[in-house]
Amino acid sequence: MTPDTFSPELFTQNWTAVALAAVVAAMAIGGMFSASRMLSARRHSEAKFTTYECGIPPSPYTWSNINVRFYIFAILFLIFDVESVFLFPWAVIFMQEKINEANVMPFYAMMMFLGVLAFAIIYAWKKGVLEWQK
């Protein structure tokens, strides 16, 4: 790279585009809020402020028991979702780089990461966490 590639004028041009995009976005958001405020109906009633339950009038007893299995399933989903956040960029960089015997450490590090996650999913499967009915 040549030294003239990093001139201060280029930085100013890049930040000008960012500032212009921020101004346009703020104006668009403000315009949508204003249009919504001006065009929306303003008839308020008691029924409008009640909880909507698919057309059924709400019952006074609102407490319900939720099985902990749903929370565990959601946590497992988040764990494996985060795995994909780490796996995809690693795979792209791994395929772009010339990997030889001198720098195979990233490969083994990711295999250890995947091994721990494989152990976790097998453990959850054996414990019956992924089963809906028992």
Write out pLDDT tens, residues 22-49.
Answer: 999 999 999 999 999 999 877 777 777 7
Is pLDDT of 93 > 60?
yes
Domain ranges of the chain: 3-127
pLDDT tens, position by position, 94-134: 777 766 666 778 888 888 988 988 898 898 889 887 777 65
Tokens at residue 72, please?
């565990």
Reference 87, options 117, 65, 46, 60; nearest CA is 117
DSSP class per residue in 39-64:
HS-----TGGGSPP-TTSPPPS----
pLDDT at residue 15 tops 70: yes
Q: Please give the CATH superfamily to which domain 3-127 belongs.
A: NADH:ubiquinone/plastoquinone oxidoreductase, chain 3 (1.20.58.1610)
